[in-house]
Structure 1
Amino acid sequence: MTIIERLQQHKDLEPHKMALIVDDIQYTYGELYDAILSVGINNTSRIVNLTQSKKTLNTKILLIQELSFVEQLTQWLGALHKGNIPMVCHNEMDTAYVDELARVIAYEGVPPLADFGVLTSGTTGQPKPLWRREISWRDFFDIQNDIFHTNKDTKIFLQGSFSFTGVSNMVIASLWAGGTVVTTSSLRPSRWMQLIEEYNVDHIYALPTKLRLLVRHCKSKLSSIKYIIAGSQVLDRQLMEQLQHICPDMEFILYYGASELNYITYCTGKEWLAREGTVGRPFPTVKIAENDNVIYVTTNYRIEGIPNTYTVNDCGYIDSDG
């Protein structure tokens, strides 16, 4: 079942179930699916035509330059539905860089099985395009949702552009499960807390930098939060203890991943505190090996154009417990 077919199934079974809340605007699964079907290519998107394609000669790369989260999401899904290949540009990318990105893509082409593109964050230079098949996310959703305790009753809060792989993956995985995504364009932690309390949110997905902002500005308990999902590499004990104080019923789920490889390992907050610095154990179906302190990952859920076993040159070791 494709992502679009799954959303159609949710629409058919529970059309009035809340799918997406963006500030004060709410979208049911019925409304979200109808919005996807009605999406057209507008003048904020840059079209890169491909001369060779796995589908038709008319397949287009769609560089989505919308700043609105709803538009980013619906245009991305709408392009998938129409058989085009979408990629959401980061909000801060200027016209000159988008032009250069389009030129590079037109010159290099895309892998023959690619369904969509993602951009690296750009923390080590200019953002670079990576290409994925839909199944590289879709077939892992049930695995990650089980680890993250995400299901049809989940209400997850996150904040950020759909262009960032972690955000887009978590949003689509939550919709795949039939849950509710709550987000905002606001950078104010007070607004985040207002939405969390108003909609009785039970999951938070956030980078540690945003969790630190939440801690700094939170003056009351967020008692509805059951899980906080975050990257494990840049957390610290003080932040985890502060978050546990304001979310007393919360369990941490910490992960390590890479844009090229999807999710790799995970652990709970208690496990991290017991063995500070660990990135946990591999996700089901993912295999880890170490050679000269370099970590190699074997997974089917990777970008196009790299081998089954791959390294992003992260260093580490495997302890006696694996």
Structure 2
Amino acid sequence: MHEGMRRQDVQVAKGCLHDYAALLRWQAAWQPQKVFLVADEEKLTYDALWRRVTAMAVEASFLGVRGDILVLADDFIGQLVSFLALQAIGARPILLHHGMASEEVRAVQRENGLQGIWRCAGASHLFEPSGLAERAHGEADVLGVLSSGSTGTPKVMYRTYASWAGFFPVQDDIFRVCADTVMFLHGSLSFTGNMNSLLSVLYEGGTVVTSGLMRCRHWEDLMRCHGVNCLYLVPTKLHLLGRAMHEPYAGVSTIFTGSQLLTPDMLRQLQAVFPVARILLYYGASELNYITYAVCDDPERDSANLGRPFPGIGVSIGADGLIYVTTPYHVSGIEIPFSVKDTGSLNERGELIFGGRREAWINKGGVKISTVHLELALKALPGIADAVVLPVCDARRGDTAAAFLVPEDGAERSLIRHMVRHAIKPVEVPDVIVLLPHLPLNDRGKIDRTALHRILGTLQKAARAGCDSDAKCEEKT
């Protein structure tokens, strides 16, 4: 159908589409028998995926689905087919995170004025209309994404097709995503990083490989079996994969990652396991898009350095110390320049040095401490495999810090505590140290900070009750 079209003509054609269902239909007409998705043992060609989408779209239309719809699907394929099918009938899908309680889901629906919930469990589909009137959209929005919801009910933010697809030619050139790309990613499509990456591969006509299992050895088998040449995983999952790999894999030419920082040890590990890979660390936000990127070829580089802005993106630091971004690729209804309340600075080369979220800074006795820099300092200590630092508000003593540390295999717990006390500045020493076998992750692959706060609350409650068992509570430093 598209034989003889020049690359530039193809880019223009894809840019003129109105949603991602139309993009899939376009690719299915171009290359129907090419495999688009491998999910463990299941393979879907572009044509097979389009047929599933059209079948679900007919069913959703018959059930009266319209407006802004929450999508709750059991698995990756269910999320993807629902996401595309609802767009195909003009609805705006909003993928829910896995593990949300029923009352949380209802609160998201009620407080955002949504028209219903689409439930997908295998071949079973159910639509629960809310009865709420459909809202008017000032822009040509085709999908919604959820805010983090860290301070209350998650807010739905909407996107046009162009707000992501318009930037694909830029990001795909930097990340080296093309028609020959076979990208491995993992986790829920409610994580905008996963969804954006998958859609960028759809845009280019490549292949995505994923798994519903949290088994790194299985991921390795999938990668080798299907010739994966590009990885998109958050640093925590990259670290787990690198530790589990049987032997180096030279098939991966590009790794791009974000949402967390890459430590020197992580970089050295990735370079050893993926010896020819170009490793890129990006800075982005759900409200915006990709903002800056750095090529990480030197393990001794500053881990907080997030590189220079992507072409066409403006970055500045306000008088309040916050990062402000000027970009046309953002969610609908926000004013530009926009800040997600991250702090940072620009060095003499125009590179962004990340300082962390404003609320993640600790004011300890008048001394301001960045949890980001404290985490990096702790991760650099021998015997510590991973670390997260949370600010803790104490009405009696002021702000304090709680450190959650994952010891390396064989590391002595008492030695780790001693090392932490003496290797960093006294004012930076966390008031509470909790040693864990691993850090809890949410369905997006990010550190589950809510779970860490829950662990901390349990330990503090046990400590107040007089617990002195190391198995139940960690001693204060």
1:91 aligns with 2:98: yes
- 1:88 Cα shift? 0.7
Question: What secondary structure, in the 3-state scheme, does the structure 2 residue paired with 1:39 have?
Answer: helix
1:184 shift after superposition? 0.6
* CA deviation profile, 1:204-263 (whole Å, cap 9, x unmatched): 101111112112211211221111111174210101101110111111011000111111
Q: 1:28 maps to what in 2?
A: 45
Farther off after superposition, 272-281 or 157-166: 272-281
* Counterpart contact for 1:111–1:131, Cα < 8 Å: no
The answer on 1:160 being equivalent to 2:187 is: yes
Amino acid across the alignment from 1:222: Y
Aligned to 1:291: 318
Shift in CA distance, 14/59, structure 1 to aligned 2, threshold 3 Å: same
- Decide which of 67, 84, 88 is 1:77's aligned counterpart: 84
What corresponds to 1:206 in structure 2?
A: 233
Of structures 1 and 2, the larger Rg is shown by 2
Structural mapping, 1:206-245, within 5 Å: 206-231=233-258, 233-245=260-272
Aligned to 2:72: 65
Change (3 A) 1:249 1:123: farther
Secondary structure of the residue that 2:196 maps to in structure 1? Answer: helix
Summarize the Cα distance change of 1:91–1:168 in structure 2 as closer, same or farther, 3 Å threshold. Answer: same
The corresponding residue for 2:143 is 116
Does the Cα contact within 8 Å between 2:232 and 2:255 map onto a contact in 1? yes
For 2:346, the equivalent position in structure 1 comes to 318
Gaps of 5+ in 1: 50-57
Given the alignment of the two structures, is residue 18 of structure 1 paired with residue 35 of structure 2, yes or no?
yes
Larger RCO: Structure 1 or Structure 2 (Cα < 8 Å, ≥ 6 residues apart)? 1
34, 48, 56: which one aligns with 1:39: 56
| 1:142 positional shift | 1.2
Residues 272/232 of structure 1: CA separation in 2 closer, same or farther (3 Å cut): farther
Tell me if structure 1 keeps the 8 A contact 2:254–2:278: yes
- Residue 180 (structure 1) aligned with residue 207 (structure 2): yes
Q: Residue 41 and residue 30 in structure 1: after superposition, are their counterparts in 2 closer, same or farther (change >3 A)? A: closer
Contact 2:107 2:153 in 1 (8 A): no
How far apart, CA to CA, are the structure 2 residues paired with 1:7 and 1:232?
28
1:54 aligned partner: none
Distance 2:265 2:157 in 1: 35
Which amino acid counterpart does residue 76 of structure 1 have in structure 2?
F
Question: Contact 1:155/1:180 (CA < 8 Å) preserved in 2?
Answer: yes
Superimposed CA distance per residue, residues 75-106 of structure 1 (whole angstroms, 9 cap, x where no aligned partner): 11111111101001111112211111111122
The runs of 4+ residues in structure 1 deviating greater than 6 Å are none
Cα gap change, 1:207/1:125 in structure 2, threshold over 3 Å: closer, same or farther? farther
Q: Deviations over 1:56-89 (max 9, x none)?
A: xx84222111121111101111111111010011
Hey, what does 1:55 align to over in structure 2? none
Work out the CA distance in 2 between the residues paired with 1:28 and 1:40: 18
Q: Check 1:237–1:42 CA distance in 2 against 1; reply closer, same or farther (3 A cut).
A: farther
Secondary structure of the residue that 1:7 maps to in structure 2? helix
CA distance in 1, matches of 2:39, 2:157: 28
Determine if contact 1:232/1:279 at 8 Å carries over to the other structure. Answer: no
Q: Deviations over 1:88-136 (max 9, x none)?
A: 1111112211111111122895643232110134456553321111211
Give the partner amino acid of 1:112.
G
2:415 corresponds to which residue?
A: none
Say whether the 8 Å CA contact 2:22–2:88 is kept in structure 1.
no
Q: Structure 1 residues 135 and 182 mapped into 2: Cα distance closer, same or farther (>3 Å)?
A: same
2:26 alignment partner AA: Q
Q: Which residue of structure 2 aligns with residue 132 of structure 1?
A: 159
- Is the 8 Å Cα contact of residues 112 and 155 (structure 2) preserved in structure 1? no
Query: Does 1:307 find its partner at 2:341?
Result: no
SS state at 2:187 partner: coil
Q: In structure 1, which of residues 233, 241, 260 is the aligned counterpart of residue 287 of structure 2?
A: 260
Tell me the amino acid that sits aligned with residue 223 of structure 1.
A
Shift of 1:40: 4.0
Identity %, equivalent residues:
35
Alpha-carbon contact 2:259-2:284 (below 8 Å) kept: no
User: Displacement of 1:321 after TM fit?
Assistant: 1.4
Once structures 1 and 2 are overlaid, which stretch shifts more, 154-163 or 107-116? Answer: 107-116
Normalised by the length of structure 2, the TM-score is 0.62
What corresponds to 1:53 in structure 2?
none
Gaps of 5+ in 2: 1-15, 114-131, 351-477
One-letter amino acid of the structure 1 residue matched with residue 106 of structure 2: D
Cα contact 2:283–2:293 (8 A) shared by 1: yes
CA contact (8 A) 1:157 1:181 kept: yes
Equivalent-residue separation in structure 1 for 2:152 and 2:297 (angstroms): 35
Amino acid at match of 1:96: E
- Between stretches 25-34 and 113-122, larger displacement belongs to 113-122
